[in-house]
Structure 1
Amino acid sequence: MSFLNSISQASAAQSTQSTGNPFLDSVRLQTKEAVPEAKKQELTQEDFFALLSQQLSMQDPFKPVENDQMIAQMASFSTVDGIANLNDHIVNLNTVMTSSQALQASGLVGQKVLIPSASGHVSTEEPNLHGVISTSKPIETIMVRIEDAKGQLVKTFSVDGSDGGNIDVNWDGLDAEGKPVAEGTYTIKASGRIDGKAEELPVSTYAHVTSVSLGTAATGAILNLRGIGGIKLSDVLAVAES
């Protein structure tokens, strides 16, 4: 043993001993015991065959394990091992599909998509707000209300809904006085009389796709919309020209 090793061992031994002075003991650096790493709780194929070999060596030679029982044990382990491998392959497949979906969705960057939301973003680049009003029956006159992010009324106008179905609605971004509104998020609300009763009608709006995110296997590709945020590709209702 070298002289330096002796000094280090002596220092380590002293660090674990008390000096008798509470103050010195409290400020002295304490040695940390090594924490063993946690062992895996899953049995591998090697563990299974080790247990199987141990079972065969410890069995009663006058009452050996039947062949069908041995085969059943090996078949059960093979089934569990196969399911685990299948799960790994499925995870890898989901990752590949998610990446492929995001690559395909990247073609939507710069386009406009119809989303199931009545709110849209108005800016200097896009001063207009386009949407679609859905009605199950023809309505002669549909009243449209434009509200800002605080729910305050900005403008009202009417559109013809006599054809029924999906009706296009377009707001020019001007308030009731004909002045351009400030940049921000605005909501289109529509109502009409169906069978003599006033009802709120569902509205969808178009949004500009700025980028695409990979997302996860559960969500798929995420479209990032200007001024709105992200939406799943599967929630897109339609794609329009930019």
Structure 2
Amino acid sequence: MSNDINTASSSYIDSLRGQDKQVTNEKKSDALTQEDFFSLLTQQLSFQDPSKPADNDQMIAQMTSFTMAEGISNLNSKFESLAASMTSNSALQASTLVGKKALVGADTLDLNSSGEASGIIAVESPVKDLKLSITDSSGQLVRTINLDTQPAGGLRFNWDGKNEAGERLPAGEYSIKAEGSMGEEFTSLPVATYKNIESVSINGANGIIINTKAGAIKLTDVAEIA
């Protein structure tokens, strides 16, 4: 009977030692809780001068400050959780863009396998003798599209993928240039074309980045998704 008691006592003591060791090994949090604040307030009251007790308004102000500090700490943690959730949601939405086309400023035009290509010419003011020049990778002019006189605005154009002789050209990337007379000056005009979105990236403060043959472009700089 005595041996059983000793064994039970020994096991109980070992259990207590294990719990004590576990508590000792646990990392203490550096964050101040509301209990810590009230403990500090209690210490402050215990050391105050009895002849000059703390003013009630001051005590209430301190308690309010403690509560606000804890609230701000909790709010920060919630914002971090919300930011992480928004990043995950952005990544999910960005993944749906792969395979679509983005309208971006470029000096190249992608002719697809079906023999079609399109884009927009930015016409800031009325233009005359507007023409679109298309050249291949060797720099040879393959097609000139005359657009004549056009008003200010975004002018959409389409290319059927054929050269001057009416022959269909192979799919690929072609250089493009828009020129016209604005007033008495003959000048180049900015062009935006549709680029295939090959992949997307989440780049922190820069937000969503789409990757095309024309390079990496911020989603906020894309005029249209098709």
Shorter-chain TM-score range: 0.5 to 0.7
1:188 aligns to 2:159 (yes or no): no
Superposed counterparts of 1:86-165, under 5 Å: 86-115=75-104, 117-120=105-108, 122=110, 130-145=118-133, 154-155=140-141, 157-160=144-147, 162-164=149-151, 165=153
Q: Deviations over 1:38-57 (max 9, x none)?
A: x9986554443332222111
* Higher-helix-fraction structure: 2
Name the structure 2 match of 1:236. 222
1:62 aligns to 2:48 (yes or no): no
Q: Deviations over 1:65-117 (max 9, x none)?
A: 111111112222322332333233223223322322332333332221112x2
Q: Deviations over 1:193-233 (max 9, x none)?
A: 222223332221211112333443x33333332x2343333
Name the structure 2 match of 1:78. 67
- In structure 1, runs of 5+ residues without a counterpart are 1-38
Local SS of the residue matching 2:130: strand
| Residues matched between the structures, number | 196
After superposition, the Cα gap between the structure-2 partners of 1:229 and 1:74, relative to the gap in structure 1 and judged at 3 Å, is farther
Conserved 8 A contact 2:103-2:222: yes
Conserved 8 A contact 1:139-1:160: no
AA in 2 matched with 1:222: I
Kindly report the root-mean-square deviation, in angstroms, between the aligned alpha carbons of the 2 structures.
Answer: 3.8
Conserved 8 A contact 1:141-1:158: no
- In structure 2, runs of 5+ residues without a counterpart are 1-27
TM-score, normalisation: structure 2: 0.65
AA in 2 matched with 1:159: N
1:224 aligns to 2:211 (yes or no): yes
1: CA distance, partners of 2:35 / 2:82 = 27
After superposition, the Cα gap between the structure-2 partners of 1:122 and 1:65, relative to the gap in structure 1 and judged at 3 Å, is same
Q: How many percent identity over aligned positions?
A: 43
2: CA distance, partners of 1:50 / 1:201 = 71
